[in-house]
Each structure stands twice: as structure tokens, then as C-alpha cells.
Amino acid sequence: MVLLNVDGVECRYGSTKVLDDVSLSVKGGDFVGILGPNGSGKTTLLKSISRSLKPYKGAILLNESDIYSLKNVDVAKQMAVVPQETSIGFNFSALDVVLMGRNPHMKRFQMESANDMAIARKVMNLTNIWHLAERPINELSGGEKQRVIIARALAQEPKILLLDEPLTHLDIVNQLEIMDLVKDLCVKEKLIILAVFHDFNLAARYCNSAIIIKKGKIFAAGSLPAVLTSETIKSVFNVDAIVTKHLVTNSVFVIPLSPQKPSPCKECSIHLICGAGTGTTLMKVLLDEGYSLTAGVLNVLDTDFETAQFLKIPVTTEAPFSPITEKTHKANLEMISEASTVVLTSVPFGDGNLQNLEAALAAVKRGIPTFVIEEVPIERRDFTGGKAKALLAELKSKGAEFVKDQNELLSLLNVSVEKLQIAKEERDRLLNHLKPGEISKETTMKDKDE
């Protein structure tokens, strides 16, 4: 079985250190994803392994032999590279380019044999490009050309395949076809595959291990669940992310979160009354807009509860499938009292969560701006014999603002924020013009008027 060891490698471009003390060990059947920010040293690592850049320090061993002590042809028989970009000077046919992969197995000036042609045809069929065999390489699209380069690498019949962002120029269908092929070869032929990825989820779907490089050093290495964590992604990429398991593939699934905008104003906190998944998307949207959020009452294990947990949103909770108790209802009202705005989603209502609708009504009566999203008519989600419909009608009569969707909600929230800011500025202006002894009196009079 082929073994590849990278031992304490340091690489430099001139006086600039790019890799520092990088070590890893891989064997046949390993599919290793190499992840990291731009400029972290991912491509440099592949260059050092492929003999394009000799390490300043350390060693790279192929079956215990220093790779830099071996002849080029001996390395090429065991290792193939698919670079980010490939420039081919002459306008060879696609078949000619693929046959170049057979050069390490041929003697000098030897013509291609029937076996070489059979291997070329096999890998071109595998990569679905045999129909392009006679087409000039420079007349192919970027995706077609990339398939030709991958086929050329496979024609070498390597034991180690180095892929540097191999899916550049490929659409989603071609990406999946190529990665399925490469994964199949890794499993069946026991290839060592080292691949640079920018897509966390693609790496998680196909790799059985990964390393993350940060500023030239290995920051994390191991299985995908051990490497792709929210904490690691935040530390290396400075991006908040939800990391979970994909329901279909059962692989690690990463959901990067957009950088949060500055809060529209310090007073702009929203309490979200939701449930049954009706608040999941809205939570993310409101956080992206810069609002601070609370939510409740949500049953533990409810989709909205799980989303709030991922997004670290404070929430009032009730036991799974349990009705809202008086204790949690009061806790919900306390959260509402701290909010500047309340938003009620198109949540289904039964007797168990009717108190959430009563909480929204309490918010309106306290003068807290309350918005009701009515994407689904109440008649289709009222399972209380009309009680929910009656409370919703009372909400409307007391001044709650009804909107048809989250886009209309965001527009009205912006208007509400502007009003809050104007009121605050006016209040600050009045206070700044008053003498110290008059502040208490003026404030009391203004509060009385309000």
C-alpha cells in the first residue's frame, strides 16, 4: 500500500515563509480535503508534494523514499496533478492531451501502444469526454477542458492524485459526476487523494478526513466532524456558521451565516412569537438586518427552537408537545416587556399555544408596536374552535399592524426604526436645551402627555 508522509515541511517564496512545520501522513484509500482561507498555503502544500516547489526544511516521503531523490518519471508513474489552471501552448486534440498522461509509462520516442489508447479511451469515457476526442483543446469550454485535464491525470494510472480546486469552471452536474468518479476510484483502487476545496459541504460529502490551514500552519486535522466545527470555522475564516448533519447524505453540513449588520438603533430589539418552523427563516433575516432577537414560547425540539439554539437567540421554552404553563407565559411576557417591537408569525394555534396569541395582545395593550404576518389565513391554522380568530381580530382592532410577508415586515420595521430614532433625537434635543433643574419637570410633563 502506498504511503505518503509530509514531515515538518517549511516552504518559502524568497524570504517569505508560506508553510511552517506542516506534517501529515496518508495511505491508500484516504481522501483528504485541504481547506483554508485564500493565501493560507493550500496550493503551496500541493506544489511541494508534487515537486514543483522544494521545501526549505523538512521532507516528503513516498513509501519511505524522499520524493526529491526520485527520478521525475518514477514520481509521475505514481502521482498525478490537476492544477487550478492549465495552459496548453499548442492546439492539440483532446485525445492527444489525454495521451500525454501515458508519457511516464513509455520509452523515449516510443509511439502509443494499443494499451495506451485503450487506457485513454477508458478514462475519457469515465469523464464523459470521448465524444470530444478529435476536438482541439483550445476550442473547448472551460468545463470541458477541465474534464480533459482530469482524464489526462487519470491516464497516468497514479496511486496519488493531487487536486487543486478541481471543480473550477464545472457546473453543479459536472461537479457531482467528477467527484463521484474520483471518490469511486479512491475506494475501489485505493488511491490517495489530496484535494483543495473552498466548499465545506463538498469536502464533507466526499472526503473521509480533512486539514485546515491557517497562515501556513495546520490549525485542525482529523475526521470531518472533528475539523468542521462552528468554533474552528469562526477562528480560521472569521465566519459564524451552523454545523449540523445533512438529513439525506448524513455528512457534516455547514451553513455559513452572513456578517451581522450594525443594529439599526440601540432600542431596536424584537420579540418573535412563532413556532412550527414559521420563524426559522425570519430569525436569520432579522439577525442579518442587525436586530437583536428574543423568541417564545417555543416547545423544545420544535424547528424554531432548534434554529434559535443555533443562532444563540434567547428563548422562553416549554417541554416537547406540552401546553404553555402560566410560569412560561409570564416569562414570555417579561421578554416582551424588554422588546421594542413584537412580531407574530403565521403559526398554527391550538389550545396548547393560545397563550402566545394572548401575549401578543398584551404587547399591543402596553403600546409595544406589534406586527402580525398573515401569510396563511387564520381559518386554515385555527384549531381552537374560533378562539384564535377572535383574538387575532381583537389584535387588529387594538392597532396591531398586519402584513402579508416578511418583505413587507422589513419595510415597516425600517419605518418604525426611523420613528424611534426621530423620537429619541427630539427627546435628546429637548433635554440638551433644558437647565439641570428643569429636566425632571420637563421629562415628567412629556411622559404625562405621552
The total number of structural domains in the chain stands at 2
76 and 198 housed in the same domain: yes
Q: Tell me, yes or no, whether 35 lies in a domain.
A: yes
CATH number assigned to the domain comprising residue 146: 3.40.50.300
- Asked whether the bond before 248 is cis by omega within 30 degrees of 0, the reply is no
Q: Which of 206, 224, 256 delimits the end of a domain? A: 256
| Displacement of CA 33 from its chain's centroid (Å) | 16
Which tens digit of pLDDT belongs to each residue from 313-330? 999 998 888 899 999 999
244 and 325 housed in the same domain: no
Which tens digit of pLDDT belongs to each residue from 351-408? 899 999 999 999 999 989 899 999 889 999 999 999 999 999 999 999 999 998 888 8
Q: Which of 224, 256, 288 delimits the end of a domain? A: 256
191 and 298 housed in the same domain: no
173 and 299 housed in the same domain: no
87 and 138 housed in the same domain: yes
Q: Is the model more confident about 248 or about 389?
A: 389
228 and 164 housed in the same domain: yes
Q: Which of 204, 223, 256 delimits the end of a domain? A: 256
Hey, what's the cell of 207?
472526503
What is the structure's pLDDT at 345? 93
Q: Tell me, yes or no, whether 434 lies in a domain.
A: no
CATH number assigned to the domain comprising residue 394: 3.40.50.850
96 and 52 housed in the same domain: yes
Contact assessment for residue 369 and residue 399, using Cβ atoms and an 8 Å cutoff: no
* pTM of model > 0.75: no
Task: State the pairing for strand pair 160-164/192-196.
Answer: parallel
205 and 277 housed in the same domain: no
81 and 179 housed in the same domain: yes
List all residues 6 or more positions away from 393 whose beta carbon is below 8 Å from its beta carbon: none
221 and 298 housed in the same domain: no
Q: Tell me, yes or no, whether 74 lies in a domain.
A: yes
126 and 183 housed in the same domain: yes
324 and 300 housed in the same domain: yes
What is the structure's pLDDT at 259? 63
Range of the domain at 137: 3-256
